[in-house]
Structure 1
């Protein structure tokens, strides 16, 4: 098997590298460049860089073209990740829930209305998302969630608590895993909701680490109203949606490229 890149793949790699070098902030990666430090600064910078990537045609690399992505092949995704790491381009973890998790989940399971409403604003960085999955008694056993969503007419009334919710203070929207049938087996009776974080009844409490950083948050829902049209998939069928989201969280080309970059840094220090 020939593992050498084709001429087209070499051109793709060169195009990625040239664009990144031309579009990174002046002085990026030099000792004199001041990178954002506090959480709010980091989020503002990440939104700006996400918009820049979108304008350059590099946002949503693996998303289908009909939803604003590039439709890149798996190998192109790897090449992009390698070049992105090679030049030390900004980490997008600060707003990564939207592009990496929410977007692919909606592409797979969302209604056309949901795709049209949310996908573009994820790609442009205009709207930021957080992940309302873990609870005090439902972490590794996510199917044990107790946050209640009661359907009354066409509106869910949501009450409960989430924890370890990264960047919740800055997010406009949340993917929320709720319990809608307490009589069903625990992997049943789960519903996946899209929740507007400006809704009345939401309280966010930052969790301050020993370092003084407060990335994680507790989020409390007190009779928060969510329209039925914000269900992804079927009512009581949310576990399938959860699995899709977690599959995207655990996969991707970025870890491979990050490890390569970190190993290079270690060798440079040796």
Structure 2
């Protein structure tokens, strides 16, 4: 694919810049969260990629290059973190590919308006990267609804979400990827759904445990027992245009680490300098790989390669961030008192969070197995 920007893209970029400049000064931008999502929705900026088969759900139609322009400009001005990205970038394309017309009409406009937030119910304590081990069940109650029972973990934004898409076992006695279904579950079910925040090493609590105790699910996407195909289709979307947004954030983090190395004099160390150069070169490689994926590459291993590149790169950046600071990177502020907790600085938060990059979203071991078995044709790993 010739991924060159055209004159229409340049005009679109100016429109994006003008809109962001005008609206980032409003109170909703400072507030972030739902208020900012609704502001984006009023501007039609949610769901730029929902073009295929869509008559319009309140979103703007945009080419692939225009979607990249929006992502680049949004990251460039350090706009507020999105709380609606799971619904916009994961669920919505999945509904366009597997959902019914009624499901699309019910859920997509609300996402495009920034009114309904979503979370993802995949991982479980005994089924992380290996999703086929899911134990959460959903039984029909005879009225068209299903009752969901089980536990999910590492559920981002679960405390704020209105809905959760849940992978559950709907065929009793089924094993592995057979007998699973993709369900849409409303989160406002007191006594039937409990959300418990998980405190991480970095002190943040964006991940959660979610317990379902007979929670109702009225919507099933892709048909009974076809949840595995739908779930795998969604995971492929997780490494599409959204990866470019992530890489723009990575570039900003790398710039800050390089500035810290220059300011501290650590850049004069030839080993650290070589590692910084390698980080820069690998980030360029990740961008080219992402663009190749967007260009229509159907290789089965492309998403796994992207995940391997991303996770290892980000973790090494976190290590560099604290190494550049030397011994000061391992201690708290000078005025810290043992009687009170202290805030981690930016480099320390980056280091601690990136410990998880090679695990969440599919561990490195699982990604290597996928590449070995599905791409290289090597024998399957013994179970």
TM class by shorter-chain length?
A: 0.7 to 0.9
Q: Does 1:201 align with 2:192?
A: yes
Gaps of 5+ in 1: 37-44
- Where does 1:115-130 land on structure 2 (aligned, <5 Å)? 115-130=104-119
| Residues 155-164 or 179-188, more deviating | 179-188
Deviation of residue 129 (structure 1)? 0.9
> What per-residue deviation string (whole Å, max 9, x for no partner) do you get for residues 164-192 of structure 1?
11121111110011011243341110011
**Which residue number corresponds to residue 104 of structure 1?**
93
| Residues 133-142 or 250-259, more deviating | 250-259
Secondary structure of 1:250 counterpart: coil
Change (3 A) 1:247 1:2: closer
Q: Does 1:178 align with 2:165?
A: no
| Residues 83-92 or 249-258, more deviating | 249-258
Deviation of residue 111 (structure 1)? 1.2
TM-score by length of 1: 0.85
Secondary structure of 1:168 counterpart: coil
Greater fraction helix: 2
**Which residue number corresponds to residue 237 of structure 2?**
248
Change (3 A) 1:73 1:267: farther
CA contact (8 A) 2:58 2:113 kept: no
**Which residue number corresponds to residue 82 of structure 1?**
72
Secondary structure of 2:238 counterpart: helix
> What per-residue deviation string (whole Å, max 9, x for no partner) do you get for residues 68-116 of structure 1?
3322111111111111122121221x33211111111111111111111
**Which residue number corresponds to residue 239 of structure 1?**
228
Change (3 A) 1:129 1:5: closer
- Where does 1:22-171 land on structure 2 (aligned, <5 Å)? 22-25=22-25, 45-64=32-51, 66-92=56-82, 94-153=83-142, 154-171=144-161
**Which residue number corresponds to residue 182 of structure 2?**
192
What RMSD in Å do the two structures reach over aligned CA positions? Answer: 2.4
Greater fraction strand: 1
* Aligned residues between the structures: 254
Asked which structure has the greater CA Rg, the reply is: 2
**Which residue number corresponds to residue 219 of structure 1?**
210
CA contact (8 A) 1:78 1:257 kept: no
Q: Structure with the greater relative contact order (CA < 8 A, sep ≥ 6): 1 or 2?
A: 1
Find the aligned partners of 1:184 and 1:159 in 2 and give their Cα distance.
16
Deviation of residue 147 (structure 1)? 0.3
Deviation of residue 223 (structure 1)? 1.7
